[in-house]
Amino acid sequence: MDNQNIDKIKFSDVDSNKAFAAAARLVSEVEKVIIGKRREVMLTVTALLAGGHVLIEDVPGVGKTTLAATLARAAGLDFRRAQFTPDVTASDITGFNIYNRRSESFEFTEGLVMTNILLADEINRASPKTQSALLEAMEEGRVTVDGKTIKIPEPFMVIATQNPSGFVGTYPLPEAQLDRFALKLTMGYPALDEEIAIVSSRETKNPIDSIRPVANVQLVRFLSSLAASVRIDETLVRYIVTLVSATRNHRMISLGASPRASLALKRLAQCYAFMHSRDYVVPEDIADLFVPAVSHRLTLRQEAKLGGVDAEAVAREILRSTQAPFKGKGI
């Protein structure tokens, strides 16, 4: 199937059960390495199909980098890793032109964004200027180098990891860049039995080496296009906008979420429904996604910060106080 037809695919054109099974296989393959973190795996694959980017914040050693590498391998996608340190420059990310004396012309050297999945590891250790170099790539799927625009391969996803703010040598991400991430996740420590399974699986070799590709670029694009045709009732669109709008009038929030959050939440809800083998969205999809999709876009008032309140808690309060339009089938 050519690219033009892929972009126009609908459920009536395909065997939806096979499509749902393909998405489920991708999740199952990733879970062979990422043990006991089904929700985080589901959300990351959801973001991939939604064309979104993911920010994973947690302490070192809980599997942030491993999740990104495993997903890329299981999905059969090109993968690059950028270890963000203070000496990484913007041109390392976007690419640069270098003069070739032999041909007497400038030649473009690809930056790290010329891939399908870019792992921006410990992104908050890089300088703000380097962090900002990702903005155009994340939003537009292209970069501009010396006035020339260069398209990034599709699909394109940034999975950025960061240590919690306050760690030595970290820089807070600017608000404009935070808003480009569809989801912000935390991994958390594994349960006792899960950690035993993780340790046992690494006795002889890296478990990522045993992961087999169960998808490829064409299949991921196909599933993404199909997920975009998942039905969402107008009342649920209103529910999304009502939730996001509530962040702009909350007593503890100085800067609420923009319409970009509403657009991202709608797209994520469609893909999340698809990941649960449905061709329609239910309110529970939106409720399950609201906190990870919106909390990182909120700026709290100083008194809220001093009181120990975090953005996730405020988002959960907004979710609890907003009436869902109806109850759907459980997820």
Q: How far apart are CA 139 and CA 184, in angstroms?
A: 16
108 in the same domain as 76? yes
User: What tokens were used for 240?
Assistant: 């999304």
Q: How far apart are CA 123 and CA 53, in angstroms?
A: 13
237 in the same domain as 180? no
User: What tokens were used for 277?
Assistant: 């083998």
Q: Which residues pair with 56 in a beta bridge?
A: 161, 185
256 in the same domain as 308? yes
180 in the same domain as 97? yes
- Report the phi/psi class of residue 115: left, alpha or beta, with left for phi > 0 and alpha for psi in -120 to 50: beta
Write down which residue in 228, 245, 262 finishes a domain.
228
List C-alpha distances in Å: 163 to 59, 159, 178: 5, 14, 15
Does residue 293 or residue 5 have the better pLDDT? 293
Lowest mean pLDDT among 24-33, 162-171, 204-213: 162-171
Task: Give the model confidence (pLDDT) of 177-225 as tens digits.
Answer: 899 999 999 988 888 998 888 888 776 678 888 899 999 999 999 999 9
Helix, strand, coil share of the chain (percent; to 5)? 45, 15, 35
84 in the same domain as 26? yes
The secondary element (H helix, E strand) that includes residue 253 is strand 253-255
Q: What is the pLDDT of residue 203?
A: 66
Contact 1, 222 (CB under 8 A): yes
Q: How far apart are CA 148 and CA 321, in angstroms?
A: 48
Q: How far apart are CA 125 and CA 144, in angstroms?
A: 24
Task: Give the model confidence (pLDDT) of 266-305 as tens digits.
Answer: 999 999 999 999 999 999 999 999 999 999 999 999 998 8
Nearest 5°: phi and psi at 80? -135, 150
For β-strands 157-162 and 54-57, DSSP reports them as: parallel
Q: How far apart are CA 102 and CA 199, in angstroms?
A: 53
Angle at CA of residue 53, ends 231 and 247, nearest 5°: 70
User: What tokens were used for 319?
Assistant: 């979710």
- Counting the structural domains of the chain, the total is 2
Q: Give me the domain span that covers residue 260.
A: 230-323
Query: Is 114 inside any structural domain?
Result: yes
Query: Is 18 inside any structural domain?
Result: yes
The secondary element (H helix, E strand) that includes residue 158 is strand 157-162
